[in-house]
Amino acid sequence: MADSLTITLAQVNPTVGDIAGNVSLIKAARAEAAKGGADLVVFPELTVSGYPPEDLVYRPSFLDAVAAAVEALAALTGDGGPGLLVGAPWREKGDTYNAVLLLDGGKISASRFKHHLPNYGVFDEFRVFAAGPAPGPMVFRGVRLGVMICEDMWFDDVAETLAESGAELLIVPNGSPFELDKPDVRITHAVARVTETRLPLIYLNTIGGQDDLAFDGGGFVLNSDRSLAVQMPWWRSEIRLTTWRRNNGSGWVCAAQAPAAPGDRLENVYQAMVVALRDYVTKNRFPGVVLGLSGGIDSALAAAVAADALGPDKVHCVMMPSPYTSDDSLEDAAAVAKLLGVGLDTIDIAPAMKAYAAMLAPAFAGTEPGITEENIQSRARGVTLMALSNKFGKMVLSTGNKSEMSTGYATLYGDMCGGYAVLKDVYKTTVFAISRWRNAHKPAGALGPKGPVMPERVITKPPTAELRANQKDEDSLPPYDVLDGILKGLIEGEMGITAVAARGFDEALVRRVYKMLKTAEYKRRQAPPGVKITQIAFGRDYRYPITNGFLDEL
């Protein structure tokens, strides 16, 4: 019976569908772990396939490739080096499971299947996987390992079954997407499982961006007394060696290490945007991004995120003035570009506005200029950015925020153009707060400059789309601090009109915002993806019908 164990935790960044690339990550982590004398290397949920694989799981050729990769990794362990605990979609007896496979001694020595399949929010695992039975321990070199896959830790039955069947150590591989306050929820569930079973627990999460999800890492180890032995960093890959000893009477104990420092809420939001954008651009092989830089706060923050994610040399900004663009906006856009070190071109859209006015004059005869003409400006800018993208290959980055997406205060095929919307799940009030935070902090791993990334005036001036003379956002919307409070109640709180009004908001205003939220659903269906930040993000989390006659009074 072993009295010591060295377990390496591989907090890695796989790519969905890139099986060969993911196998290379696994091999590299194993080679590094072997140098430290590791017995076992643990990887996050579904590392072989990437997470979430979605409907790739339906393709037999995909599952064949995964199986071949796992068999090859298993053969690798025949060299007497570290064993591997890897996640993969796995077929058995006609069903496909979200599985963890123990590879050791040149073979697949054990497999366990996810018991609780999440089917809420961003998760659709019931759609593609079968639920596995309550698992028993895996035996690895004389040690009984209790493996719970992600959601299995959120319930007490799996841990209880493992403890009652002799598990000595709990291991939880995860593909847990970031959202605000999620790290606290994870640790709460982990502490509950340790308290119930009196067993130590390893929690390992994946890292990186996958479409509209960001994975923040932050793996940790709790000893059986609930003390934190290991805290891995957030927002970056790391291979971490942990050492374990069997103590008579108290089971396995992990040697304590200095913990990584957690980031605050604003830093986590910013890092989520950076990591998600970086992986979206690089994993899809775009050479960089192009975006409209208006002199306003949304585009300034989006440009800062892009510079930090990709490096200033891969960010191209375009100022597209109209007759309504102020000198302040021209100056502020130039100042933002200079502070960030990004390229900035100026392309005047006035000729396009004149051409559209002349072209549409016969059809518009007898009507007054209004929102239609404002939208033409926005669409002229969208056409300009898409033309630059088509010509030079850089992806258009949309700069709209969640307050605008919620209320429809955005132009379809105009400022909503783009391949990715970096602020899509960030309310306007949070945009202000994060902009101030970034001016005072450069986050770890950022490729952009130190110091301020936008002039103070960009943050303090009244927001405006500048589509007509003297326009302000508050001409069309409530003040953002009021608007965002109402929206959070309607969206994240899933509350009705009366309940939101009871929080102290004017009921007529709540009804107006509710109507805007409901009416704009058709626009959101056509919006580009953007990283999930809040508990309920537009997209996978928020699936309301466009044609919808229900009025939520309560």
Residues serving a catalytic function are 45, 114, 150
Structure tokens, 222: 């709790």
Closest CA to 454 of 473, 474, 470, 431: 431
Reported as type and span, the H/E element at residue 58 is none
Q: What is the DSSP string of 301-333?
A: HHHHHHHHHH-GGGEEEEE---TT--HHHHHHH
Burial class (CB in 10 A: 0-12, 13-18, 19+), 264: exposed
Strand partners for 140: 143
Asked if 425 contacts 530 with a C-beta cutoff of 8 angstroms, the reply is: yes
Asked if 437 contacts 270 with a C-beta cutoff of 8 angstroms, the reply is: yes
Question: What's the DSSP call for residue 344?
Answer: E
Q: What is the DSSP string of 350-377?
A: HHHHHHHHHHHHHHHTT----HHHHHHH
Asked if 11 contacts 240 with a C-beta cutoff of 8 angstroms, the reply is: yes
Residues sharing a CB contact under 8 Å with residue 515, sequence separation 6 or more, in sequence order: none
Return the exposure string of 60-73: e unless at least 16 CB atoms fall within 10 Å of the residue's CB, then b. Answer: eebbebbbebbeeb
Question: What's the DSSP call for residue 467?
Answer: S
Can you tell me the distance from the alpha carbon of 462 to that of 295, in angstroms, rounded to the nearest whole number?
A: 12
Strand partners for 422: none
Can you tell me the distance from the alpha carbon of 279 to that of 488, in angstroms, rounded to the nearest whole number?
A: 28
Task: Give the chain's end-to-end CA distance (angstroms, integer).
Answer: 62
Asked if 208 contacts 275 with a C-beta cutoff of 8 angstroms, the reply is: yes
Q: How many H-runs (helices) and E-runs (strands) does the chain carry?
A: 17, 20
Closest CA to 217 of 183, 169, 193: 183
Can you tell me the distance from the alpha carbon of 147 to that of 136, in angstroms, rounded to the nearest whole number?
A: 8
